[in-house]
Amino acid sequence: MHSVFLLGFGGVGRALARQLVAARELHAARRNLRLEVVGISDSSAIIYDQHGLSDDAILGMIAQKSAGQKLSGPASQPISAIHEVVAQLPPRSIVVDTTATAQAVPVLLAAKAAGHAVVLANKLPLAGDLAWWDAITAGASRWETTCGSAMPVISTLTTLLDAGDQVHKIEGSLSGTLAYLAAQLEAGKPFGDAVREAKRLGYTEPDPRQDLGGRDAGRKALILARMLGYRIGMDEVSIESLYPASMDGLSVDEFLREVDSLNDMMARRAAELSAGGKKLRYAAVVQDGKCELKLLGADPSTKLGAIQASDSIVVFTTQHFSSNPLAVSGRGAGQ
């Protein structure tokens, strides 16, 4: 049996808890394993029982949060007690971070220091200070879902590195939102219309600039770069923003009106990059100690150029996968 403590109980945290309950028989049959959820926390409360929360209690808390209610249950404690609770965890517990905040870092570091395993869906601790990276990635840690949702990107790269393969280049379409916008630009749709349509369809954050700035995709690329041993920070990642910094001061509504001013510029850029039948992609390139994200024109015969606009892909060009690079592609977002 392994004790599990969940940091964060939003959409991803609830999906994980639901999967843990649903997979009880599967885990027992395939691995002779039971993952006992001993604690659940969100931004306001902690529910903790060192002997384990019942599946009925877990499902009840999922229903509460899904209905917009506050997290409540047996042995509720304020979130301010998080360090005390982590100190009480059974030996060799698994602390899972499904938050989207760097405030989780002290908890993760304390868990590591106490000998617990750490699993992250949260990119911020791994894309922050290099000291965080060193501490969190040492020993028993996993961060598969920080790059490409459930796509086996991290495990594939880990296998290549463990086998002694030399990774020369990593290319990736790491943002579904930016992949959609690139496809719309390639098809000749005005940039402003494409942005508003992406927001209407729920492809963007409430403020589309959070996607258009490329920083979320940049964090994913930085994690891959650091796995290759690049000792760089976010300030050293070259990120092409699809809007000028002068528009940062606008409200969301103002931005959605003013974004049409970028139509001509983006149309010219799309035409230049897609000339000769190339496919417009917003892609990360990790190579030669550098990490860059930008709009580019990909040859349709390449794996980056051949994917559907709705898919994510990461392509590894290595010593052993050179003429035919290794690719992981599929649905790269979702709970």
Digit-by-digit pLDDT tens for the chain (335 residues) are: 899 999 999 999 999 999 999 999 999 999 999 999 999 999 999 999 999 999 999 999 999 999 999 998 877 999 999 999 999 999 999 999 999 999 999 999 999 999 999 999 999 999 999 999 999 999 889 999 999 888 999 999 999 999 999 999 999 999 989 999 999 999 999 999 999 999 998 888 899 999 999 999 999 999 999 999 999 999 999 999 999 999 999 999 999 999 999 999 999 999 999 999 999 999 999 999 999 999 999 999 999 999 887 789 999 999 999 999 999 998 877 77
Q: The pTM is what?
A: 0.94
Q: Output the six-digit token pair for 196.
A: 């508003």
Dist. CA 84–CA 204, nearest whole Å: 37
pLDDT of the residue at 56 = 96
**Which segments of the chain are extended strands (E)?**
2-7, 35-41, 45-48, 76-78, 94-97, 117-120, 141-142, 167-173, 238-239, 279-287, 290-298, 312-318, 326-330
pLDDT of the residue at 1 = 87
Q: Nearest-CA neighbor of 79 among 2, 3, 9, 4?
A: 9
User: Mind telling me the catalytic residues?
Assistant: 220
Q: Output the six-digit token pair for 209.
A: 């600039």
Is residue 143 within 8 Å of 223, Cβ to Cβ? yes
pLDDT of the residue at 98 = 96
Dist. CA 11–CA 55, nearest whole Å: 18
Q: Which ranges of 152-251 does DSSP label H, i.e. alpha helix?
A: 153-162, 176-186, 191-200, 209-212, 215-227
List domains and CATH numbers for the chain.
Answer: 2-146 (3.40.50.720), 158-330 (3.30.360.10)
Q: Output the six-digit token pair for 288.
A: 């030669």
Residue 214's SS3 state is: coil
Residues sharing a CB contact under 8 Å with residue 319, sequence separation 6 or more, in sequence order: 165, 166, 168
Residue 63's SS3 state is: helix
Give me Rg for the CA atoms of the chain.
21
pLDDT of the residue at 89 = 97
pLDDT of the residue at 307 = 87
Residues sharing a CB contact under 8 Å with residue 187, sequence separation 6 or more, in sequence order: none
Dist. CA 72–CA 181, nearest whole Å: 41
DSSP 8-class letter at 319? S
Q: Output the six-digit token pair for 273.
A: 């990059």
Dist. CA 100–CA 126, nearest whole Å: 12
